[in-house]
Structure 1
C-alpha cells in the first residue's frame, strides 16, 4: 500500500509543537512524494518523547542544505540546534567538543538510525566522517534519557536519521560544491519504490566525496619545525537502504553505510606527517510489526565496525625524520540486538517494554589495554498513563536496569510530564537518574607510567531535573514560538584519574542553568530567531568539568522571496569563557556567517547555494591541547550547484 503526502508533514507538525527552530525561513521543497506504508515503532521513539514532557529539537533536510557543500554533521549541529555547544577542533571532518545542557563530551549519546556511535573503547564521540548529504533529519532529545537509550545519555540524545526512499518514480539529486580553500565536494542520490508480491519495496543509494587541503589551524608563533601546516581531509562515503513492506502491518528495513576517510591529525611541533586513515562500516536490519491496533513491536540488529591506521612521523632537529607510529591499528566492533514492544492497555494506557543487548571488542596497538571485550544487557519499561480526569496531562514513568561484564550494574528511573495549559501554552518537566558505564580504557588500561585501569569501577550516576514552558501564538499579530528550559544535574561516582589510577571520585559535581529560544515571523518574508544558554558548574572535592562554556548565544535573520525562488540569511554566534583541562581560559568570541540560495527554474530542479563562514575573518579558539590553541575556520566561501530529478 502506498500513501500520498508531503514527506515533511510529520517533521513539520513535530517542529511546530516542539521546535521553534523548525519554523525558520528554510521552507521545504514541495513535492508530492510517496513512501512505503509501514509501522513506525522504532523510527518515532525520539519524537514520541516530546508528547510526554521531553524537549525535542528537529533539524530538517532544508536546514541541513544551508550548512554548506562541504558540511559534515558537526557543522549542521553547530548551526541549527538551540542549546547545543559545538566546537569543531580544526574545521570540517575533525573531532569536536560538544556540550548539551551543561554536559561534557561523553554526556551526550549519538545515534545513527538508532545505532550507538559512542564507542566503549574510549567512550568518545566520533562524528568526523559523517557527510551531511546522507541525512534526512536530526532529532535532538534533551535531558537525562538513560531510560530508553542507556549509558551516556546523561545530557541528551542526538539521533541522526538517514534518508529513505520516498518516490514511486525514479528520482534523485546531484550536488557539486567548491570552497575558497580549494576544497571540493560531490554527492549523488537515487531512489525508487517498486511493487512486488509482498507489498512495496523502496530502494535508495547515495555516494559522496569531500576533499580539501584545509587551513592552518595554529598561529604562526605556535608552529615549530613542522612540514605539514594545513589540516586536510578526504572522505568518501556510500550507502544503501532497502525497505520492504508486507501488507499494511509489517516491514523490513536494511541499511548499510561505508566510509573511507584520510584525515590529517594536526600537530604544531616537529610534525612531518600525522594521519588517521579510517574505514567505518555500519549495518542494520530492523523488522517492525503491528500485531493489532493495540500491540506492536520491532526487532533490530546492528553492527558498527571502525578500523583506523594511525601514522605519526616527526621532524628531527637538524634534519631528517623519525617514525613514531607506522600505520598502527586502533579500532573496535560494536554489535547488538534490541527488541521493543508497545501495547495499548485498557483505559488507553500505553506500555513500552524492551531489552537492549550489546557486545563490544576493540584493539589499540599503541595503548596497552588488557581486556578489550565487553558486553552489556538491559531491560527497560515505561508506562504512559491516560488520566481521563486530567485530559491535558500527559505523564510517563519508567525504569531500566543494565549490567555489563567488568564494572558494576546500573538501575535508573525516570518521570516525565507535559501539561497543556491552553492552546498556546504548555508546561513540561522530567526528573530521573542517568548513568555512564566505564569504558574499556578506564577498566583495563595497563600503562604503569601513565595510567592504570580499575576493574572495580562503578558507573557514574546522575540525577537530572528539567522544567520548561513552551509558547506558540502571536506577538503584535506576528507568529511567535518560544521556549524556556531550566535544568539541574548532580553527578556522583564521577570517573576520574587520581594521579595515574582511574577511580570513582568521592566528590560530586552540580550543574545548573537555563536555555531559551524563540522565533518571530516579522512578516511573510522576514523571520528572526535566537537562543541563549547559561551554564553554572559547582565542583566538590577538587573534581572539575572542563570545556563547557559558561554562556553562549546565537541569532539568525532570514529572508525569502514571495515566490520562494530565492532567499538569504545571516547568523551570529557568541561564546563566552571556556576553561580547558589545563585550567586555561579561552573563548570570548563572536562569529558571523551568511548564506543565500537561488532556484534557476520554477520547478525547483536547479539551485545555486552560497555560504560564507566567519564573514569578518575573526581569529578564535575552538579548544586547547598541549597548551596550544586550536583555531576555528577563517573566512571561507562555499558555492554549490544542485540538480534534482
Structure 2
C-alpha cells in the first residue's frame, strides 16, 4: 500500500554529520520554508542516530520539491486549529477547503490532484484508509505536531499507492531537552469554542544511552457555527449547528542504544464526538469515533557505509454513526443508531541504505501491509486485503559532473484482489550557480482500487473485483532562486507539472469501472518569499491547474486557479508580531458542473510575549476578517445546498512554557 517513512526531516540527528549536516542545510534553508521563520533543530541530545528519515529527506537533494511548515507557523493557526487549517494557511500549491470548520472533513488538491491523490502520513503511518481511500484529518490536533513536511509530485516509488500528486507527512513532537520542560495552552473563540492542551518532556541517561520521554494531551470542544444558509433549512430541522468535541493523548519514548542504535515507540489515542451536519429534517447526526495509532521502529548504523531500519505500525479506526430525522408532525425517525464503520491497517517495513564505492548510494526495502474494514451503512462484501512491495533506488555520483545530483528507482507492488503495479522514477537536481538550481522529476505512479470500489454491494452502487490499478505518468520541472532583492533576502520557485492518467477509476452509473482513454492534468505553481527588512516579510504563491475531460469523465473539485499572499511583521526583539493573509480561489466545479468558487478570504494574526523570558504568551487569530460568505463544497444539488466556510471568528490563546 505505502511505505512508512517516519519523516522527511527528522527531529533527531546523529553526532556523525558527514552527510546529515549538509542535508539539513539543504532542507531547512529559508528558500524552502513557507513563511518567515527558520526551522531550528539544535536542541537534540539523544546520542543514537536516526537513519530512517534520510531516505526521504534526501529527495530534496535529488530534485523533489519540499515544503516545511514549522512549529511557530502551526501556533499561529489558532488555538482550536486542526491540521486542515494549518495546511490551508501555509502550504504553497496546496488547495484545502475544510467542509464545515475545524475537525471536519476537507477537500484537498496538490499539483492538480484529486482528493485522494495525496498521501497523508502521521510519523510515516498512512492516514488514507483502504476502505474508501479518503483523507481523514479531522481528529488531529495541531498542538501535538512539531512540523509538517510536504513532498510534491508523483512519489509512488517510495510510498506506493495514492502518492500520485505528493505526500504530506505530519511529524509529531519529540523530546528535545534534558531538563523537564513543556507547555500549557488555553484558548477561546467567539463561538465559545474552548481548547486546552499540555505537553511535558525530558531526556535522561540510563545504562543503554539516552532515553527521551514525551507525553501530551488536548481537548477541543465547540457548538460550532451554522454551516448552511438560512434558506437551506426546513422547518423540521432541529440541530442547525455543527459541533465537535475532540480529546487526544499521546506518548513517545526514544531509547538510544550506544552510539549506533535507537528504538522509538509511539502511541496516540483520539476520542472524537463529531456532528455530521445536514440541512433538512436533522435532529441528530453524529460520527462518534475512536482512533488509535501505534508504531515501533528500530534503527541501526553498521559502520560508516550501511544503515537500516525496521518499523511496524497499527492504525485502528472505529466509528459509530447515528442519524435521527425530525418529522413535520414533531415525531422522529431513526435511520441509523450506532451503526459501525471502521478499519484497521497494520504493516511492517524494512529499509537499508548502502554507500558504495565511488560515493554511489543504494536504497532498497520491502513494505508489507494488511487491511481489514467493515461498514454497516455501506455494504461491502470483502473486508480484507493485503499489499506487498519491493523497491530500490540508486543515487549515482559522476565525478565529471559534480553539480548534478540524479536518482533512479523502481517499485513493484502486489495487492490481493487486484492487479499488481510496477512504477519507476527518475529525479535530477542541477546546481546552475550558487543562486540557481534546476530540478526535475519523471516517473510513473499508481492508485490501487479501494475496498468500496472493489466490493461495494448496494442497490445504487456495485463494486468491480476486476478493477485495474489507476496508472499515471508524472513530470515536474522546476527552477529555484535564492539570493537578494533590493538588499533583502529573496527566494522564488517555479514548477511546471503534467500528469497523464490511464485506467481512471470512476462510476459509470452505479458500477465502478476503469475509464477508457487518457486524462491529462497540467499546470504551473509559483511561490516566493521576500524579507525586505529585518522585521518585514512578504510571501506569495499561485497555482494554475488545467484539467482535460475525456469521454464524459471530468476530474472535479480541483480549482482552476488559486493564490495566497501573506505580509508579516516581527519586532526587533521578537517579543511581538502581527501578520495578515489573503487567499483567492477561482473557479471550482463540483461533479455536477456547479461552480462554487470565485471568492477571497482575509485572515489576521498577532502574538505578544508578556515577559522577557518568553514563558508567557498571548496569541490572536482573526479568521475571515470581512465575514465573507463562501462555499467549501456542494452538499446536495436538488435543491442546491452549499457547505459554508467559517464566518468571522476571533480566537485568543494563552501559552505558558516551562
TM range (shorter): over 0.9
Is residue 165 of structure 2 the alignment partner of residue 155 of structure 1?
Answer: yes
Q: TM-score, normalised by structure 2?
A: 0.95
Structure 2 CA distance for aligned equivalents of residues 15 and 212 of structure 1: 36
Q: TM-score, normalised by structure 1?
A: 0.97
- Where do 1:231-630 residues align within 5 Å? 231-447=242-458, 449-627=459-637, 628-630=641-643
Structure 1 CA distance for aligned equivalents of residues 552 and 261 of structure 2: 54
Equivalent position of 2:656 in the other structure:
643
Is residue 217 of structure 2 the alignment partner of residue 204 of structure 1?
Answer: no
Contact 2:55 2:363 in 1 (8 A): no
Closer/same/farther in 2, CA of residues 115 and 636 from structure 1, 3 Å limit: same
Structure 2 CA distance for aligned equivalents of residues 2 and 357 of structure 1: 27
Structure 2 CA distance for aligned equivalents of residues 52 and 297 of structure 1: 20
Closer/same/farther in 2, CA of residues 361 and 127 from structure 1, 3 Å limit: same
Contact 2:28 2:38 in 1 (8 A): no
Give unpaired runs (5+ residues) of structure 2: 1-11
Structure 1 CA distance for aligned equivalents of residues 431 and 584 of structure 2: 33
Give unpaired runs (5+ residues) of structure 1: none
Deviation, structure 1 residue 539: 1.5
Where 1:547 maps in the other structure, the secondary structure is coil
Contact 2:487 2:532 in 1 (8 A): no
Contact 1:18 1:57 in 2 (8 A): no
Contact 1:53 1:428 in 2 (8 A): yes
Equivalent position of 1:89 in the other structure:
99
Structure 2 CA distance for aligned equivalents of residues 631 and 410 of structure 1: 39
Deviations 1:496-543 (A, max 9, x none): 111111111112210000000000111001110000000000121111
Deviations 1:59-89 (A, max 9, x none): 0011100100001000000001000000000
Closer/same/farther in 2, CA of residues 12 and 60 from structure 1, 3 Å limit: farther
Closer/same/farther in 2, CA of residues 251 and 4 from structure 1, 3 Å limit: closer
Equivalent position of 1:186 in the other structure:
196
Structure 2 CA distance for aligned equivalents of residues 11 and 310 of structure 1: 45
Contact 2:560 2:586 in 1 (8 A): yes
Structure 1 CA distance for aligned equivalents of residues 426 and 532 of structure 2: 38
Structure 2 CA distance for aligned equivalents of residues 4 and 569 of structure 1: 37
List 4+ stretches of structure 1 deviating above 4 A. Answer: 1-5, 7-13
Contact 1:3 1:34 in 2 (8 A): no
Give the count of matched residue pairs: 640
Deviation, structure 1 residue 474: 0.5
Structure 2 CA distance for aligned equivalents of residues 150 and 268 of structure 1: 39
Is residue 51 of structure 2 the alignment partner of residue 38 of structure 1?
Answer: no
Contact 1:47 1:139 in 2 (8 A): no
Where 2:597 maps in the other structure, the secondary structure is strand
Deviation, structure 1 residue 32: 7.0
Deviation, structure 1 residue 9: 11
Structure 1 CA distance for aligned equivalents of residues 475 and 270 of structure 2: 38
Equivalent position of 2:27 in the other structure:
14
Contact 1:435 1:460 in 2 (8 A): yes
Deviation, structure 1 residue 2: 10
Contact 1:84 1:98 in 2 (8 A): yes
- Where do 1:61-140 residues align within 5 Å? 61-140=71-150
Structure 1 CA distance for aligned equivalents of residues 505 and 366 of structure 2: 26
Deviation, structure 1 residue 461: 0.1
Deviation, structure 1 residue 38: 2.5
Structure 2 CA distance for aligned equivalents of residues 35 and 147 of structure 1: 33
Contact 2:23 2:58 in 1 (8 A): no
Where 1:586 maps in the other structure, the secondary structure is coil
Structure 1 CA distance for aligned equivalents of residues 34 and 318 of structure 2: 36
Closer/same/farther in 2, CA of residues 391 and 177 from structure 1, 3 Å limit: same
Deviation, structure 1 residue 16: 1.6
Deviation, structure 1 residue 35: 2.8
Deviation, structure 1 residue 626: 1.3
Deviations 1:542-566 (A, max 9, x none): 1110000000000000000011100
Contact 2:29 2:38 in 1 (8 A): no
Deviation, structure 1 residue 378: 0.2
Deviation, structure 1 residue 44: 3.5
Deviations 1:121-173 (A, max 9, x none): 11110000000000001000000000000000000000000000111110001
Contact 2:30 2:38 in 1 (8 A): no
Structure 2 CA distance for aligned equivalents of residues 51 and 17 of structure 1: 15
Closer/same/farther in 2, CA of residues 434 and 130 from structure 1, 3 Å limit: same
Closer/same/farther in 2, CA of residues 20 and 305 from structure 1, 3 Å limit: closer
Closer/same/farther in 2, CA of residues 143 and 27 from structure 1, 3 Å limit: closer
Structure 2 CA distance for aligned equivalents of residues 473 and 31 of structure 1: 23
Structure 2 CA distance for aligned equivalents of residues 219 and 317 of structure 1: 20
Structure 1 CA distance for aligned equivalents of residues 650 and 591 of structure 2: 33
Closer/same/farther in 2, CA of residues 11 and 552 from structure 1, 3 Å limit: farther
Structure 1 CA distance for aligned equivalents of residues 605 and 167 of structure 2: 28
